Chains A and B, each alone.
Chain A
Amino acid sequence: MRRHGRKTVGLLLSGVMMLSVLAGCGGNNSTDGESANGGGKSDGETVKLRMVESLTSPKRTELLQKMIDQFETENPTIQVELISPPFDQADNKIRTMLAGKQDLDVMEVRDLNVAEFVNNKYTEPLDAYAAKWSDYATVTATAKSVGTVGENLYFMPSGLYLRQMFYRQDWLKEKGLEVPETWQELVDTAAALTDSSKNRYGFSFRGGPGSNGTTDTMILSYNGDNVNLDDSQFTKDGKTIYSTPEAKQAMELYMKLYKEASPPDSINWGFSEQVQAFTSGVTGILLQDPDVIQSLQQSMDEGTWATAPMPKGPNGKALMAAGASGWGIPSYSKHKEEAWKLIEFMSSPKQNTAFSKDYGLIPVHTAAAEDEFFKTGPYKTLLDMGNQPDVFVSYKPAFQYPGTGQWGQVSAESQQSFLLGKTSLDDLLKKWDEYWANEKTKMQK
């Protein structure tokens, strides 16, 4: 069937090509640069790897290319072509490439989509390769855990990110306020900073896509010790985290955070407005990942801002999860050995530490934490949090549920409806509770 289709298509295509040649459009067949469909062994022993990144930014691409160049010098028989789709479209493109079995040997996998890739058998388990790798011993447990689904390691994280608090030092000083340590203090401080007549607000709220970054974090921290850390949408007795009285408390405070300390417009803000509001001096407190640091350094004066650990819940705990993206091997890759070689190279303590410093991530090797760079400046907070595991309790996000992908959207939309007063708090939590109870039932089938 498919074969037949292919033949017809080919025939039609040759007709079309002839037409376009007649129409003077010859010479458009690209022969530029890297051969398009290469991937096989081209001449002699040289192997050509194709690698695709997802969290593309000009700076990051440059850093990756630098590592690749070095790798190619050390391994003259391996060539690497780096594909850099725009961040906005990258995951969709990678997914399409995998479905179409396009030549690909190394790909960036994210914590958000690793379960999907594994479920569709797109990714190769890396355990056998890692077992032979000498530096694997010093990879941190967190890094290993993020890259693992079930029993197997499916991607090697290229660095970890952890959310922390960014705040306007000068604003707090001006008002004589302390740096908030709990969510309650955060709301009070932010409310005290708010002066809408001056277009100044305490908190960089984000009610659009990604709002569950705040709601879920608050609810988790309010549930505290009661959360099942390995199945974090549920409590230790198997109920959803949204069904507890603590969840209700958290969301009441959340409403206050929006009403009294955030720009009204932010109910529909996404990541860019959230950060822009902070850099432009509209808002005073921002919760974000460390890769935002470079944006802040670029657009804000030194000394106006500083970092602090994430706020804690009423029982003195903050639940947090490290995020990561990293390198995996497509299951159909023809050059898995060489692909692993490249991953191993990029993940070596030396390369990984350099990359993490330049890009603003937490390195994946234990030794790197000893580096002066991470003991000072905006990165210090991250280490501080890491050093108090009983206060900043780490949990495993529920990425293994198929519903995680849609959760961000469901959560954001119902949360907006709650903030607008169209949904009551009880209905909101009931809806969320049902969503996850339902995911659980589907999973157990």
Chain B
Amino acid sequence: MNNRKLFIVLSLVPALLLVLVFTCYPFFKGIVMAFQEYKLFDLNNVPFVGFDNFKAAFDDPKFMHALTNSAYWVFVSLFFQFVIGFALALLLKKPFRGRGIYQGFVFYSWALSGFLIGMIWKWIFNSQMGPVNDILMRLGIIDERIGFLSDPKWAMVSVIVANVWYGIAFFAIMLLAALQSVPGELYEAADMDGAGTVRQLFSVTLPYIMPTVITTTLLRAIWIFNDPTIIYGMTNGGPAGSTHVLSSFMLDKIIYAGDYGAASAVGVIMIGILLLYTIFYLSVTRSEKVGDF
């Protein structure tokens, strides 16, 4: 083995080995349950049932509803997180007094855990005891309290607001780090060409940080899709199932029904959706050009 090969192998082995043993192996063990009737109430009797769990999922109108909700949940959250996060990164790029403190502030929402965020926002949006309704009433903006989490028209909006609040920080910080790496010469050249601020943004900045943009938006989309904690904490999927997304629907199967077979099947479907999405996304953004694949 030559030096180059040895270097490659030695550098990659720890990462690959760990992921293989402690991520892939337990996951495949878990996935077997998708093809079993695996209920916590009766663990001595877990027969293989083929694709029954998958059929049951697709036959369930709640599953289909959660599927559509997932699309809203991911894309609306992602859009606002990215746009606001990117805008912040641009505003924070040039030094100004208090920038450090402001950045610390931007970051703090990311420092909280999903379960805390769910609990805090559930309180903030509570009609009777929460501050948002109270402030709007006092300011005379509304006459009647709004059921942010109890009115199906509002509930989905409310959980998305909480999610946007949480996720802006990730984009702001990651994109800021990327922006810092754009060589100043590029801007000087653009200045000489007489390009304005907006044109510089689209012709210099964006293309340069495109790899980061693609990776971060893809990763966030996957994470948002998979994370049930905020919805779980705020609405528990309610009222009447109106805020269930696939991940919370799956958690529901585990916690209330103790049905790991059904949950695992939903999990497998979720992975299928994400894989398709990733392939689609990477080919649309032509990431191979960016050098990522």
* A residues in contact (CB < 8 Å) with B: 9, 12, 15-16, 19, 92, 95, 99, 115-116, 119-121, 199, 201, 207-209, 263-268, 270, 273, 276-277, 280, 282, 402, 405-406, 408-409, 412-414, 416-417, 420, 422
Contact A277 B239 (CB under 8 A): no
Dominant secondary structure of chain B at its interface with chain A:
loop
Tell me if B147 is interfacial: C-beta within 8 Å of chain A. yes
Stretch among B36-44, B47-55, B167-175 lining the A interface: B36-44
Q: Which of B13-27 contact A (CB under 8 A)?
A: 14, 17-18, 21
Cβ-defined contact, A422 with B236, below 8 A: no
Contact for B17 among A15, A201, A209, A414, CB less than 8 A: A15
How far apart are A94's CB and chain B's nearest CB, in angstroms?
Answer: 12
B21 and A12 contact, CB distance less than 8 A: yes
In the assembled complex, how far is the CB of residue B117 from the closest CB belonging to chain A, in whole angstroms? 15
- A168 → B minimal CB distance (Å): 15
Would you call B127 an interface residue if the criterion is a C-beta within 8 Å of the partner chain's C-beta atoms? yes
The reply to whether A268 and B257 form a contact with Cβ atoms under 8 Å apart is: no
- CB pair B236 A270 closer than 8 Å: yes
Q: How far is the CA of A99 from the CA of B41 in the complex (A)?
A: 12
Known: A9-B21, A263-B127, A417-B240. A120 touches B43 (CB 8 A): yes
Q: Which of B250-290 contact A (CB under 8 A)?
A: 252, 255-259
- Cβ-closest 9 pairs across A and B: A265-B127, A409-B256, A416-B240, A417-B240, A402-B41, A406-B257, A416-B239, A265-B150, A268-B150
Contact, CB under 8 Å: B240 / A420: yes
Alpha-carbon separation in the docked complex, A116 to B259 (Å): 13
- B150 and A267 form a contact (CB under 8 A): yes
B128 within 8 A of A: yes
Q: Is there contact, CB below 8 Å, between A19 and B257?
A: no
Closest to A115 in B: B41
The reply to whether the CB of B112 lies closer than 8 angstroms to some CB of chain A is: no
Cα A35 to Cα B149 with chains together (Å): 46
In the complex the two chains form, is A119's CB within 8 Å of B42's CB? yes
Could you say which residues of chain B place their CB within 8 Å of the CB of A120? 40-44
Distance (whole angstroms) from the CB of B284 to the closest CB of chain A: 37
- Cβ–Cβ contact B258 & A265, under 8 A: no
The reply to whether B126 and A416 contact each other, CB–CB distance below 8 Å, is no
**A99 CA / B39 CA spacing, docked (Å):** 13
Asked if residues B129 and A273 are in contact (CB atoms below 8 Å), the reply is: yes
Contact residue among B41, B42, B147, B252 (Cβ-Cβ distance under 8 Å from A265) = B147
Q: CB < 8 Å: which of A276, A409, A412, A417 contacts B257?
A: A409
Interface string of B221-253 (1 = CB under 8 A from A): 000000000000001111111000000000010
Bound together, the chains give a CA A267 to CA B155 distance in angstroms of 12
Q: Say yes or no: A413 contacts B44, CB within 8 Å.
A: no
A-B contact pairs, 16 of them (CB 8 A): A9-B21, A12-B21, A16-B14, A92-B255, A116-B40, A120-B42, A201-B128, A209-B236, A264-B150, A266-B128, A273-B126, A405-B40, A405-B257, A405-B258, A413-B241, A417-B240
B211, CB-defined interface residue at 8 Å = no
Q: Tell me if B152 is interfacial: C-beta within 8 Å of chain A.
A: yes
Question: Once the chains bind, are A409 and B252 in contact (CB under 8 Å)?
Answer: yes
With known contacts A265-B150, A417-B240, A280–B129 Cβ distance under 8 A: yes
Q: List chain A residues, Cβ under 8 A from B149.
A: 265, 268
A262 to chain B, nearest CB (A): 10
Chain B residues with Cβ below 8 Å from A208 are 236, 238
Name B18's closest neighbour in chain A (CB-CB): A16
Distance from A18 Cβ to chain B, minimum over Cβ atoms (Å) = 10
Contact residues in B for A420 (Cβ distance below 8 Å):
152, 239-240
Q: Which of B143-194 contact A (CB under 8 A)?
A: 145, 147, 149-152, 155
Not counting A95-B40, A263-B127, a sample of 16 additional A-B residue pairs whose C-beta atoms are within 8 angstroms of each other reads A12-B21, A116-B41, A120-B41, A120-B42, A120-B44, A263-B128, A264-B127, A265-B128, A268-B150, A277-B128, A402-B42, A405-B257, A406-B257, A413-B240, A413-B241, A420-B152
Complex Cα spacing A378 to B120, Å: 32
Question: Once the chains are docked, how many angstroms separate the CA of A201 from the CA of B129?
Answer: 12
A199 to B240, CA, bound (A): 24
Asked whether B44 lies within 8 Å of A121 as measured between CB atoms, the reply is: yes
Q: Within the assembled complex, what's the spacing in Å between the Cα atoms of A193 and B238?
A: 28
Residues of B near A115 (CB, < 8 A) are 41
Q: Which residues of B118-150 have CB atoms within 8 Å of chain A's CB atoms?
A: 126-129, 145, 147, 149-150
- Closest chain-B Cβ to A255's Cβ sits at a distance in Å of 14
Instruction: Kindly list chain B residues whose C-beta atoms are within 8 Å of the C-beta of A116.
Output: 40-41, 258
- Using A15-B17, A208-B236, A409-B257 as known contacts, say yes or no to A266 and B40 having CB atoms under 8 A apart: no
Shortest CB-to-CB span from B231 to chain A, Å, is: 12
Chain B residues, CB < 8 A from A99: 43
Tell me the minimal C-beta distance from B99 to chain A in angstroms.
34
Q: How far is the CB of A117 from chain B (nearest CB, A)?
A: 10
Nearest chain A CB to B1's CB is how many angstroms away?
19
Residue numbers in B under 8 Å from A277 (CB-CB): 128-129
Judge whether B41 and A12 touch: CB under 8 Å. no
Beta-carbon nearest neighbor of B241 in chain A: A413
Query: Which of B14, B44, B236, B240 is packed against the most chain A CB atoms within 10 Å?
Result: B240
